[in-house]
Structure 1
Amino acid sequence: MTLTQLEIFSQVAQLQGFTSAANRLGISQSAVSHAIKSLEQELGVELFHRHQALIELTDIGQQLVLRARTMLGLANTLQQEADDARGMKRGTLRIGSFGPTSSIRLLPRILRRFRQAHPGIMVHVDEGPDRQVVQWLEERRIDVAFVVLPEERFDTFALIEDQMVALLPTGHPLADQPDISLKALCSDPFILTEAGSSELVSRLFVGAGLKPDIRYRCSQLLSTLDAVRRGDGVTVVAQLSLPDVQPASYLIKPLKPAITRQVGLAVLDQRQASPATLAFIKLATGLDYGNGA
């Protein structure tokens, strides 16, 4: 069993395909197939169910892929610690990001500084809904994640705080109100944005003993904004996730009572984090985001 085999196994599991894994790794599909077959023969188990157009993990494959990612993560940390002794001239950093707040307002600024300080570190960024990014971190697919705090499962580092706001179509009956309660938002069709702080928004209503009339689930914030503009419903989003230039086609209202959201970084275990990961966290937590990041 080699680290190369484990890396190929991990990529096939993540991408659910031999061809996709081959393209990601820059090798031939036959090399991927041979590596998986050899690994299965060595372990004496079948790792994947192979259908015509679908590859999925077997039950034992689902257990072993987590072990494989742990081993790959430790090997990467070992390599980076050796590289760090030579000035951290090479290595890889895998980042998980969600929504406009982290992907547009925070990450570009941090990466610009990080690449200046560590040009030899290869950076991979994966974007997804907040809950998916957390899952990636748990499964060791990424080294560090942007998350909505608190997250007690991980070691976390706060970066920025902003306000949760309500979005209403222009001409809405509540347009003249200076602020909006969560209860008032339950009278209209509600639009839930999956890409941002969907978990936080859901918890806000549950904590208040309320149940919004969710009619739409949008995977992207732009889809949510378009739906509000059309008058399809109302929503709650983080203020920093909104575009800097606000169109006149929807209204932004503070919530009553005011609700804040804190965004930060998370790692599985700071003690086991690679030098590149720790350097990224140190740089990110040292920046001032007071002027819109």
Structure 2
Amino acid sequence: MTLTQLQIFSLVAELQGFTAAAARLGISQSAVSHAIRQLERELDVELLQRRQGQTELTDIGRQLLPRMRGMLGLAETVRQEAADARGMRQGTLRIGSFGPTSSMRLLPAILAQYRALYPGIEIHIDEGPDRQVLQWLQDRRIDAGFVVLPEPSFDTYPLLEDQMVAVLPVGHPLAAKPSVSLAELCGDPFVLTEAGSAELVSHLFQAARLQPLVRYRCAQLLSTLEIVASGEAVTLVAEMALPRTPYPGGYVSRPLSPPVTRRVGLAVLSEAEASPAARAFMQLATRLQREGGLTG
């Protein structure tokens, strides 16, 4: 069993196809197929199945995938610790991000300084819903991820705190109020966004034993805001997720009553096992947070 075989298997599983994995790696499809056959032959199990043109993990393949990704992560940590002894001149850092708060408010400031300090570190960024970032961390697909706190399953580093706000169409009766309650948001169609606060929003309503009239579910915040601006629904999002300069006449935001805060931070599966590149990213982010460099 080689690290190359494990890398190919992990990528085929991620992309759900031999052709896509071959294109990503820049090798032939036959080379990908050969590596998978060799790995399956050595383990004496079938890891992948092809059904109607799609590639799916077998039960044992699904069970072994996190362990193999863990082995790849450990190998990368070993390489980076060796590079760290030489001044961390090379390595890879995989980051998971969600929505505008982390992707537009936090990441640019951190990355600008990180790249200046460690130009040899290759950075990969995947963006998805907040719950997806948690799954990527658990599956070891990323080294560090932005998450909504608290997250007791991971080692976390708080970076930012803001408040949840109701977002309403201009001219909505609730827009005339200084603040809005959760119960008041249950009287209109509701649009739920996956862009960073979906779990928190759902938990807030459940804890209050309220049921919003969810009529829309959007993966992107801009789609959510467009629906609100059109007068079709109301929503609840984090204040710092909103654009700094919303288009005029589109929507208004009002704080919740009682107020609800949201905390955002970085998370790693284990600080003790984090690679030098990931630890350096965490240390830089927390330093910028202390110095006020992440609130601009």
TM-score for both structures, normalised by structure 1: 0.98
Does 2:199 align with 1:202? no
Q: Tell me which moved more, 133-142 or 167-176.
A: 167-176
Q: Conserved in 1, the CA contact under 8 Å of 2:105 and 2:294?
A: no
Provide the secondary structure at the position in 1 that maps to 2:35: helix
CA distance in 2, matches of 1:105, 1:130: 15
Count of paired positions: 293
Secondary structure in structure 2 of the residue aligned to 1:174: helix
Amino acid at match of 1:139: D
Q: Is 1:106 aligned to 2:112, yes or no?
A: no
The structure 1 segments of at least 4 consecutive aligned residues displaced by more than 3 Å after TM superposition are 288-293
Aligned partner of 2:148 in structure 1 is 148
Equivalence for 1:185: 185
**1:70–1:140: 8 Å Cα contact kept in structure 2?**
yes
Q: Percent identity?
A: 65
| Counterparts of 1:143 and 1:83, CA distance in 2 | 17
> Is 1:251 the counterpart of 2:252 in the alignment?
yes
| Alignment correspondent of 1:224 | 224
Q: What residue ranges of structure 2 are gaps of 5+ in the alignment?
A: none
Superposition map of 1:86-165 within 5 A:
86-165=86-165
Q: For the aligned residues, what is the CA RMSD?
A: 1.0
**C-alpha contact (below 8 Å) 1:160/1:289 kept by paired residues:** no
CA distance in 1, matches of 2:97, 2:27: 27
Report the CA distance between 1:291 and its aligned residue: 6.8
Q: Which residue of 2 aligns with 1:66?
A: 66
**After superposition, where does 1:25-104 map in structure 2 within 5 Å?**
25-104=25-104
C-alpha deviation, 1:289, in angstroms: 4.4
Secondary structure at the aligned position of 1:266 is classed as strand
Q: 1:169 touches 1:234 (CA, 8 Å); kept in 2?
A: yes
Deviates more, 1:62-71 or 1:17-26: 17-26
Amino acid at match of 1:42: E
Once the two structures are TM-superposed, the CA of residue 29 in structure 1 deviates from its matched residue by 1.4
Cα distance per residue 1:17-73 (max 9 Å; x no partner) = 111111222222111111011111111111111023210100000011111001001
Residue 172 of structure 1 is matched in structure 2 by: 172
| 2:271 equivalent in structure 1 | 270
Unaligned runs of 5+ in 1: none
Moved more, 207-216 or 144-153: 207-216
* Worse-matched range after superposition: 195-204 or 116-125: 195-204
What is the Cα deviation at residue 206 of structure 1? 0.8
Tell me, in whole angstroms, the C-alpha distance in 2 between the residues paired with 1:269 and 1:59. Answer: 26
TM-score by length of 2: 0.97
Report deviation, 1:171. Answer: 1.3
- 1:199-250 Cα distance to aligned partner (Å, 9 max, x none): 0111111111111111100010010000001111100001111111123211
